[in-house]
Amino acid sequence: MPQALPIIAVALTAVGTGVAAYGAVEQGAAAKEAGKRQQQISDQNAKAVHDAAALEAGQIRRKNLLRLGSQRAGAAKSGVLIDDSAGDVIYDTAIQGELEALSALYSGSSASAAHKARGSLSAWEGKQAQSAAYIGAGSTVIGGIGQGVGQYRRSIQPTFSGSRNVAGDY
């Protein structure tokens, strides 16, 4: 039985090494999946922000059309010709309204791009974590092999006990 103990110790080291390597690989796979899921969420957020900006720009343009209509009606009611200074006011109102709409679209595009960038970064981080896990698993296996070989070598080395005179026993 004492001869079997080193073999059992080496086998247990091998099993422990395998379990640790498997755990590292699984942890890496989970990190990669988490990164992909975060990217999906960021992409959904990017679309939602983009759609909200488009809606806001549409509402700004609608309000601007109503404002322009009101200005035209007020000018016509007072007898002012639209070709005069009233035309300049209406023109300025139209430009200002379109600038507000474009500003809303730009803000939405910027926020959308930021969400997409965060999502891409999350996916990249997940892939890097998976790569690191593979390297860690490989390192664990190599370390386990080294430990197992060391245990085996120590178990097969002869041991000396007592204080015999080796030279005098021949």
Reported confidence tier of residue 142, pLDDT bands at 50, 70, 90: confident
* Separation between Cα atoms, residue 20 and residue 140, nearest integer Å: 7
Q: Is residue 48 part of a domain?
A: yes
User: Mean pLDDT score of the chain, rounded to an integer?
Assistant: 85
Q: What is the pLDDT of residue 170?
A: 47
Q: Is residue 73 part of a domain?
A: yes
| Domain interval for residue 75 | 4-156
Collect all residues with Cβ–Cβ distance below 8 Å to 124 and sequence separation of at least 6: 35
Percent of the chain surpassing pLDDT 70:
84
Q: Is residue 107 part of a domain?
A: yes
pLDDT tens-digit readout, 8-48: 777 788 888 888 888 888 888 999 999 999 999 999 999 99
Task: Record the pTM.
Answer: 0.65
> What's the domain count of the chain?
1
2 has pLDDT over 60? no
Q: Is residue 21 part of a domain?
A: yes
